[in-house]
Amino acid sequence: MPPSHLTSKVVFVTGATAGLGKAIACRFLEAGASVITCGTNEERMKSTIAELSAKGTFRGILADLSSSEAIGTLFKQLRDEFGRLDILINNAGIMDQFDGVGSLDPTLWDRIIAVNLTAPFLLSRLAVQHYLEQEEPRGQILNIISMAGKVGLGAGAAYTASKHGLVGLTKNTASYYGEKGIRCNGIIVGPMRTNVRCAFADRKNEEGCNRIMGLLQSMKVNHCDIDEVADLCVSLTAGPGSRQINGALINVDKGWGSLMG
């Protein structure tokens, strides 16, 4: 693909101030797209804007994805400034603390579901409505999921439930809107070195953590390369043959999923 093949496209990547989201934003900027992101950490956002603005048209907006009102305001800002959206990438997510249902704090459950599942639903809803308004409806949604969306012991109960829900949302959106020119896919990502685990830096369920970490170590599966996963996101949404892919859940995990069944 030529380096500027996405010059006219607008891409919204949630949670692109660090980790995989930032790598995805970089790859789309390098491909010529205009990129928008959101986040809650003001210092990290300022740093990301300074770094990524040098690569192309990049806009960072402070917004809390656990707030439906903030999501509505965020999407309005996007439309007012850019006038269009071509690709939505629901990347932002927060980790739980490895609790099973018996010890899970309902407040934590609510926040995990709000950010990891309700926010992608609300943003997908707004994106689909926008896509359908076009004279020739066309648009894409890519959901970044994880192996916790396919297995029972990839995280605690809240994170696992949120990612299983995102799998269902992906399939339903693809089935419902594919014939209308809107594609929706998901990538099932394996272990990566990101900042998602900061959520339980000060508190975690030791039993759950030890079981899950022990399972990963016993399988001896290497971490996925963040930059290569980001490359795949561009290929899946804008690469040769990508228009034929809708409703796919693609394992990007160095074989971890095949070991889990």
Catalytic residues: 159, 163
Rounded to whole angstroms, how far apart are CA atoms 60 and 148? 29
Q: Where are the alpha helices (DSSP H) in 39-105?
A: 42-52, 68-82
Q: Tell me, rounded to whole angstroms, the distance of Cα 127 from its chain centroid.
A: 14
DSSP state of 253: S
- In order of 27, 45, 111, 145, 193, the CA distances from 225 in angstroms are 14, 23, 28, 16, 8
Strand ordering across the sheet containing 182-189 = 58-62, 34-39, 10-13, 87-90, 139-144, 182-189, 249-252
CB atoms within 10 A of CB 51: 14
Q: Please give the span between the terminal C-alpha atoms of the chain, in angstroms, as a whole number.
A: 34
DSSP state of 154: S
Element (H, E) at 133: helix 119-133
Q: Give residue 127's identity as a one-letter amino acid code.
A: A
CB 35 within 8 A of CB 52: yes
